[in-house]
Amino acid sequence: ETGVTQSPTHLIKTRGQQVTLRCSSQSGHNTVSWYQQALGQGPQFIFQYYREEENGRGNFPPRFSGLQFPNYSSELNVNALELDDSALYLCASSGRDSKETQYFGPGTRLLVL
């Protein structure tokens, strides 16, 4: 069984640029959630996708957007990058039921200069 994978592992961007992060969900999982983990903090929920539609969103501005594809993989897009967007971005896959465990990928470390 393949776990959750994310790409790239590290990324450096400059302020104002745009970035796309990718996530492949674990086999059999149809729900993908994205979290932002700033240095020294716990992960914060960005949004969740189920069957290619956004299914819940945290307190993040619209410049954070996402997609889910028919194979349940997902992308996180961030436009107009700000210095505070520097963080570890974690993807988690699960079944849709709230009792389903979320399995996390290794994350993408984004540095905005």
The binding site for another protein (CB under 8 A) comprises: 4, 31, 33, 35, 40-45, 48, 50, 55-56, 58, 90, 92, 94, 96-107
Contact indicator for 30, 50 with CB cutoff of 8 Å: yes
DSSP code of residue 96: S
Q: Which is nearer to another protein, 38 or 80 (CB)?
A: 38
Give least dist CB 2 to another protein, A: 14
Q: Distance between CA 47 and CA 35 in Å, rounded?
A: 7
Q: Distance between CA 93 and CA 23 in Å, rounded?
A: 9
Q: Which is nearer to another protein, 65 or 106 (CB)?
A: 106
Give least dist CB 15 to another protein, A: 25
DSSP code of residue 6: E
Q: Which is nearer to another protein, 78 or 93 (CB)?
A: 93
